[in-house]
Amino acid sequence: MRQSRLLALTILLINRRRIAAPEIAQRFGVTVRTVYRDIEALRSAGIPVTGCQGIDGGFALMENYRLTRQLLTFEDIVSILSTLTGINHTLRNPDLDNIIEKIGCMIPQDREDEFNRVSELIAFDMTPWSPGDQHNLLDITYAAAAARKLIEFVYRDYSSTLTHRIIEPMTLVFKAGMWYLFGYCRLRSDYRLFRLSRMEKITVSDKRFNRRGTTFRETLETRQHNRNPVTLRLLFSPRSRMNIDDFIRPQHSLQRADGFIEATLTVENDEWVCQWLLGFGKEVEVLAPQSIRDALRNQLQILQTMYNR
């Protein structure tokens, strides 16, 4: 446990210009006294940690200190390479290829066979079963974000409404099995998250933009804080058991004697909720809240009207 903490502390010091002991203690869940003991242990191992007093004081590493192979265990290297290789199977980024090659050189020659065996135990593959032109979309959006060039495209939303968008691409996001592009939408004058599979007729403009200060994580945290959650009480049929295990934890569901499953799930009250529930067809009934039951009833009436023509 302490060895892992010391490695994490070293990496933290490499990435931070200076950090105070109380902040380190809070980050690792230890006392300030333990932090000082860890710092002494790093110094004893030859890692040049310096300390500064005063308001802006704290610990830092000497200039030009770099991470060496001795600080990474064999298991660390395997984990890093497995993750990066899986990511780059999708992105096909030459820069990541170079990083993978550099880290691969850190594997001792006498453990290459072991690495090949261990690396086969887990694989990261973020491509869908039918990738289609996803690779091309990733290449286009990544290159535009890196070059800070505007992107124009037609976007199809949840209700299949098409809108022409001009955005400042900022971050590619892989979330819940889907690729998204986060950026500033000039049509909405706000930050938006666009699913790549719904983007059509994409063109990259020659016009460049200055990247805005907000990040994807900051925007996500703000929206989660301000979101409008709704707690669903659902009744699933016995046939849907395998379908709900992926998104409902066992402690939030109860299997009745008749095989039906009652579950409670809190989600963001957005337009996708009804679309998602309708996807289960007759295999699920919403017990509460009444507002979602009413919304589903309206959707079903629209569908009934459509197919009774």
Tell me what percent of the residues of the chain surpass a pLDDT of 70.
Answer: 87
What letter would DSSP give residue 158?
A: T
- The pLDDT, as a whole number, for residue 69 is 47
**For the packed helices 21-28 and 32-44, what is the interaxial angle rounded to 10 degrees?**
100
pLDDT at residue 1 greater than cutoff 60: no
pLDDT tens per residue across span 119-133: 777 777 766 665 566
Q: What mean pLDDT is reported for the chain?
A: 82
Q: Which candidate, 7, 5, 118, 117, places its Cα nearest to that of 73?
A: 7
Is residue 194 within 8 Å of residue 155, measured between CB atoms? Answer: yes
Bigger pLDDT: 68 or 253?
Answer: 253
Instruction: Give the mean pLDDT of 252-256.
Output: 80
The least confident of 121-135, 162-176, 204-218 is 121-135
- The pLDDT, as a whole number, for residue 302 is 87
Is residue 289 within 8 Å of residue 296, measured between CB atoms? Answer: no
Per mean pLDDT, which of 72-76, 83-87, 240-244, 292-296 is the most reliable?
292-296
- The pLDDT, as a whole number, for residue 29 is 83
pLDDT at residue 298 greater than cutoff 60: yes
Distant-in-sequence, close-in-space partners of 105: CB < 8 Å, separation ≥ 6 = none
Residue type present at position 192: R
pLDDT tens per residue across span 265-289: 888 777 778 888 888 888 899 999 9
pLDDT at residue 8 greater than cutoff 80: no
pLDDT at residue 97 greater than cutoff 70: yes
Instruction: Give the mean pLDDT of 42-54.
Output: 83
Tell me what percent of the residues of the chain surpass a pLDDT of 90.
Answer: 22
Using CA atoms, how far apart are residues 217 and 247, in angstroms rounded to an integer?
22
- The pLDDT, as a whole number, for residue 65 is 65
- The pLDDT, as a whole number, for residue 246 is 67
Question: Can you read off the two tokens belonging to residue 69?
Answer: 């192979």
pLDDT at residue 190 greater than cutoff 60: yes
Question: Can you read off the two tokens belonging to residue 172?
Answer: 């590619």
Instruction: Give the mean pLDDT of 1-13.
Output: 74
